[in-house]
Amino acid sequence: MTETIEPLRRDKVIGSSLQAEVRLGDLAPVPAGFGAAELAELFISSDVVVTTAHDAVQAARTQNGKCGRCWRHLPEVKADGSLCGRCEGVLHA
């Protein structure tokens, strides 16, 4: 995965791998029992999409907002600096 994300970092498209959204195509090996959330944690990326639309591994800059606590870019974070659901739950528990 690093070889897919690193060119984006080198070209200053992203600053960290947490800003990357990864798409796994048909030919990309996906470990059994792993869902998108687990793969995103494993790859240290914003999101992972498993798709049949292509057969390669691709990465692009995410459009999701950045959580102010965990720094993950998630669709539920509407503005950079606001909190994701997981962090909200931890802080209010």
Report the domain count for the chain: 2
Q: Indicate the pTM of the whole model.
A: 0.75
pLDDT in the model for residue 89:
94
Highest-confidence segment of 28-32, 49-53, 81-85: 81-85
61: Cβ–Cβ under 8 A, 6 or more apart, which residues?
8, 13, 14, 19, 20, 21
**Domain containing 44: what range?**
1-62
Closest by CA to 64, choosing from 42, 29, 40, is 40
Indicate which CATH number applies to the domain containing 30.
3.30.2320.20
pLDDT in the model for residue 4:
87
CA distance 9 to 4: 10
Are residues 53 and 32 both part of a single domain?
yes
pLDDT in the model for residue 86:
92
CA distance 1 to 58: 9
